[in-house]
Amino acid sequence: MALFSKSKNDKAWQAGNSLPKHVAIIMDGNGRWAKKRGLPRTAGHSAGAETFRKIATYCKDLGMDYLTVYAFSTENWKRPQEEVDAIMQLLEKYLLESIEKMERDGIRLKILGDTEPLSDKLKALIERTDKISSEINGFQANICLNYGGRDEIIKAARKYAQQVAEGRANDIDEKEFSSYMYSDGIPDPDLIIRPSGEIRTSNFLLWQSAYSEYYFTDVLWPDFDEAELDKALDAYSKRSRRYGGV
């Protein structure tokens, strides 16, 4: 039985912090999952997309406010063209399905990243999901697409530089600088999860993760289910978040 499925008053909640409002996940291990099964890497991405769907629904049902996932990085363009094309087709399929279900399920969807290199079809779908999301209150799923933490900071710094040119250098603080990020208006993630056994951040939410808790697991993303998320939430609930204090 899922550890957190009953209520927020289970023992795990009493042992530490409450449910995180914002969880972020580096969806890693799709290719290795497929290789272990003698399948093409594209099959792993399809399985990973279905896992995202299940985990997003579970996060909403638990009462979280935000889920952010790393779907395609600025570095992923280096992958074989066939794989890149398959990922983009999956995203188109997911967005088309989401447009039909967002209002019914009360889920907002936002794409974070540089959308300029994307196809016109994907851009149009993103625009439609943005419009629908603006009319929905509640849980929000963020998909980082053509996203890189350093790239995001550089773009924010360029906007910041425009303000400096206007003589406002000393007036800009962290809060205002954050408003130049793709994640403007979204609270920083409380917990960042990385499946697949890799222990690195891979250029994900570098600015936003200053005080995030991290959780690493060897489970490959397509095998990451509700029970695995429960384990991460259980570990998070036992940590003391002091933000530099005592």
The reply to whether 184 falls in a domain is no
pLDDT at 99: 85
How many whole angstroms separate alpha carbon 216 and alpha carbon 26?
Answer: 10
Active-site residue (options: 65, 76, 114, 225): 76
Give 19-52 pLDDT, tens digit per residue.
Answer: 999 999 999 999 999 999 999 999 999 999 999 9
Question: Does 146 qualify as catalytic in the annotation?
Answer: no
How many whole angstroms separate alpha carbon 203 and alpha carbon 22?
Answer: 18
The reply to whether 70 falls in a domain is yes
Contacts for 186 with CB less than 8 Å, ≥ 6 apart: 22, 66, 68, 110, 140, 142
Question: Does 76 qualify as catalytic in the annotation?
Answer: yes
The reply to whether 202 falls in a domain is yes
The reply to whether 11 falls in a domain is no
The reply to whether 135 falls in a domain is yes
The reply to whether 8 falls in a domain is no
Q: 35 is in which domain, residue-wise?
A: 18-149+189-236
The predicted model scores a pTM of 0.89
pLDDT at 245: 61
The reply to whether 165 falls in a domain is no
The reply to whether 175 falls in a domain is no
Q: What would you report as the CA-atom Rg of the chain, rounded to the nearest whole angstrom?
A: 18
Question: What is the rounded average pLDDT of the residues 47-75?
Answer: 95
Give 87-111 pLDDT, tens digit per residue.
Answer: 999 999 989 888 888 888 888 999 9
Give 180-216 pLDDT, tens digit per residue.
Answer: 999 999 999 999 999 999 999 999 999 999 999 999 9
**CATH number where 124 lies:** 3.40.1180.10
Give 5-19 pLDDT, tens digit per residue.
Answer: 444 445 444 434 489
Other beta carbons less than 10 A from residue 200's beta carbon: 10
Instruction: List, in sequence order, every beta strand (DSSP E) within 8-158.
Output: 22-26, 66-73, 108-112, 140-147
Total structural domains in the chain? Answer: 1
Length of the chain: 246
